[in-house]
């Protein structure tokens, strides 16, 4: 526990969050590239099979949907008003599931994000930046 010897300043963001944001962006770029690769392969198969291969086109859509979601979450993470911790956990789980489409970067990124989200300093930072909801 030597690495936690210095406490964070009141508004200081833990380094794990910056690293997590970069990994989410890289995973989003990888998912966008996978969409292009899968889409190109499916369209090539569609031409070769006289259009029957277009039935596989929905298989190329989940990577691009996840890429858009990752870009939004990473942009909010780099800003001053981040998404909730649950949103980041959902993105991390979806990144792990993206191994189905061949995204190894997403697998590693998702595992690291889940580990970092369980860090006490990261949890504390999310608790401090969470908006206070007053119910009436």
* DSSP code at position 53: G
Provide the pLDDT for residue 127.
Answer: 81
For the CA atoms of 91, 93, 98, 99, the dihedral, rounded to the nearest 10 degrees, stands at 140
Crossing angle of helices 85-97 and 104-117, rounded to 10°: 150
CB-based burial label for 12 (10 Å; 0-12, 13-18, 19+): exposed
Provide the pLDDT for residue 69.
Answer: 94
Give the span between the Cα atoms of 65 and 128, in whole angstroms.
30
Provide the pLDDT for residue 112.
Answer: 94
Give the span between the Cα atoms of 133 and 136, in whole angstroms.
10
Is 100's pLDDT higher than 60?
yes
Nearest to 41, CA basis, from 55, 60, 28: 60
Q: What pLDDT band is residue 4 in, cutting at 50, 70 and 90?
A: low
Domain regions of the chain by residue span: 26-33+61-126
């Amino acid at each position: 526990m030597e690495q936690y010897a210095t406490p964070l300043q009141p508004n200081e963001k833990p380094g794990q969050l910056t690293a997590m944001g970069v990994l989410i962006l890289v995973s989003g770029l990888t998912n966008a590239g996978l969409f292009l690769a899968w889409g190109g392969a499916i369209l090539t198969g569609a031409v070769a099979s006289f259009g029957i291969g277009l039935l596989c086109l929905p298989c190329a859509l989940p990577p691009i949907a996840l890429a858009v979601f990752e870009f939004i979450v990473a942009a909010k993470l780099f800003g001053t008003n981040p998404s909730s911790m649950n949103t980041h956990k959902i993105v991390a789980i979806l990144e792990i599931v993206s191994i189905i489409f061949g995204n190894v970067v997403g697998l590693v990124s998702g595992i690291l994000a889940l580990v970092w989200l369980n860090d006490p300093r990261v949890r504390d930072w999310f608790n401090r930046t969470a908006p206070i909801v007053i119910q009436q």
